[in-house]
Amino acid sequence: MSVTLDTTIASPRLSWRGLSPSGNWRQREGRGFQLALAVFVLVFSIVPVARLIAAAFDGGLLAFWQVLDAPDVWRAARNSLTVAFGSGALALAIGVVFALILSVTTLRARTALAFIMVLSLMIAPQISALAFKTLAGPASPLLKLIGLAPSPGTPNPMLGQFGIILVMGLHHAPLVAITLASGLASIPRSLIEAALLDGASPWQVVARIMLPLLRPFILTASLLAFVAGVGNFGIPALLGLPVGYVTLPTLIYRKLASFGPGTIGDAAAVSMLIALIAGAGVIAASLLLARAQNRLESEHRIAPFWTLGRWRLLLEILVWGFVALTILLPLASLVATSLVPAYGVRLSLQSVTFAQYAEVLFRQDLTVRAFRNSMMLAGATAISLAGMTLVSAYVLDRAKPKMRAAAFTLIELPYAVPGIVLAIACILLFIRPLPLIGVSIYATPWIILFAYHARFFAIALKPVLAAMAMLDQSVEEAAVCDGVRLGQRLRYIVLPLVFPAVFAGMLMVFLLAFNELTVSALLWSAGTETLGVAMLSLEDSGLAAEAAAVAVAASALVCVLMLAMQLMARRLPDNALPWQALAGPREERRG
* Least trusted range by pLDDT, from 44-53, 324-333, 373-382, 399-408: 399-408
* Least trusted range by pLDDT, from 9-23, 97-111, 356-370: 9-23
Q: What percent of the chain has pLDDT over 70?
A: 89
CATH class entry, domain 361-575: mainly alpha
pLDDT score, position 300:
59
pLDDT score, position 16:
37
CA-to-CA distance for 507 and 103, rounded, in angstroms? 27
* Least trusted range by pLDDT, from 68-72, 240-244, 470-474, 527-531: 470-474
CA-to-CA distance for 329 and 325, rounded, in angstroms? 5
pLDDT average, residue stretch 2-6: 38
Max mean pLDDT among 286-295, 363-372, 491-500, 540-549 falls in 363-372
The band of 305, judged by pLDDT with boundaries at 50, 70 and 90, is confident
Q: Are 532 and 126 within 8 A, CB to CB? A: yes
CA-to-CA distance for 288 and 409, rounded, in angstroms? 15
- The answer to whether residue 590 scores a pLDDT higher than 60 is no
pLDDT score, position 530:
93
Per the prediction, the chain carries an average pLDDT of 84
- Angle at CA 311, nearest 5°, toward 305 and 312? 60
**Model confidence, pTM:** 0.87
pLDDT score, position 12:
36
pLDDT score, position 486:
77
pLDDT average, residue stretch 243-265: 82
Give residues with Cβ within 8 angstroms of 356, minimum separation 6. 338, 339, 341, 545, 546, 548, 549
Helices (DSSP H) in 470-530: which residue ranges?
A: 473-481, 486-489, 495-514, 520-523
Q: What percent of the chain has pLDDT over 90?
A: 39
pLDDT score, position 587:
42
Max mean pLDDT among 57-61, 188-192, 537-541 falls in 537-541
- The answer to whether residue 333 scores a pLDDT higher than 80 is yes
pLDDT in tens, 485-518: 777 788 888 888 888 889 888 988 999 999 888 8
The residue ranges of every structural domain in the chain are: 361-575
Q: Are 140 and 134 within 8 A, CB to CB? A: yes
- The answer to whether residue 233 scores a pLDDT higher than 60 is yes
pLDDT in tens, 212-223: 888 888 988 898
pLDDT in tens, 398-453: 888 888 888 888 898 898 888 889 999 999 899 888 777 778 898 899 999 999 99
pLDDT score, position 263:
78
Q: How many Cβ atoms from other residues are within 10 Å of residue 527's Cβ?
A: 10
The band of 41, judged by pLDDT with boundaries at 50, 70 and 90, is very high
pLDDT score, position 174:
93
- The answer to whether residue 555 scores a pLDDT higher than 70 is yes
CA-to-CA distance for 303 and 300, rounded, in angstroms? 9
pLDDT average, residue stretch 120-135: 92
- The answer to whether residue 346 scores a pLDDT higher than 90 is no
